Amino acid sequence: MASLADVYKDKERTNWLKAWLAIDIAKSGLEHLADNEAQNFHRLIYSHVGSSCTSCTTANVQHKKPCPRKICDQVCQKIIKEHRYNSLSWKNTSAQLWQTNYWEIAKCYFPPDGYAATSSIRDTDFNGVISFMLNCKRFDSSMSFPITTGKPTTHTSACLLYK
């Protein structure tokens, strides 16, 4: 079994360790901001909607089956309105949990696969957190610079982080 000293002897392993540490530190630094914004967005949605529904499923919402109480339709519209590219990820979220778990709404802004089992920011990786921040327009007012400069094209990227 390799010791920690062996890791530092191999430059490639050292670089992987540094990259992992940098990503872990970045995620830790963004957690508070992303978690607060997810909670605030959830509160805002349900203060406007005013009630809750636990009978609708994500499949109902995704296929535009009307909510019998007209609640999930409104929640869904608010989620879509805040998505930068209108390409939400329905695979990760459960509409039945939207009212009780704010992170289920945040997961609509994640990449399409791999996050169905996450239930909080603590068990979400850096890619999920940064995707939420890049895809949700609510973060535009949280930064002193524009997060994105528009839709990506073949000549330009949408995110300033890609430059």
Per the domain annotation, does 35 fall within a domain? no
* pLDDT one-digit tens code per residue, 94-121: 988 999 999 999 999 999 899 999 999 9
The total number of structural domains that make up the chain: 1
* Phi, psi of 136, rounded to the nearest 5 degrees: -100, 120
Per the domain annotation, does 44 fall within a domain? no
Per the domain annotation, does 25 fall within a domain? no
List % helix, strand, coil for the chain (3-state, nearest 5): 55, 0, 40
Structural domain for 62, as ranges: 50-162
Band (pLDDT 50/70/90 cuts) for residue 68 is confident
Per the domain annotation, does 31 fall within a domain? no
Mean of pLDDT over the chain: 84
Per the domain annotation, does 65 fall within a domain? yes
Per the domain annotation, does 107 fall within a domain? yes
Band (pLDDT 50/70/90 cuts) for residue 64 is confident
Per the domain annotation, does 10 fall within a domain? no
Tally of CB atoms within 10 A around 44: 13
- Rounded to two decimals, the pTM is 0.81
Per the domain annotation, does 9 fall within a domain? no
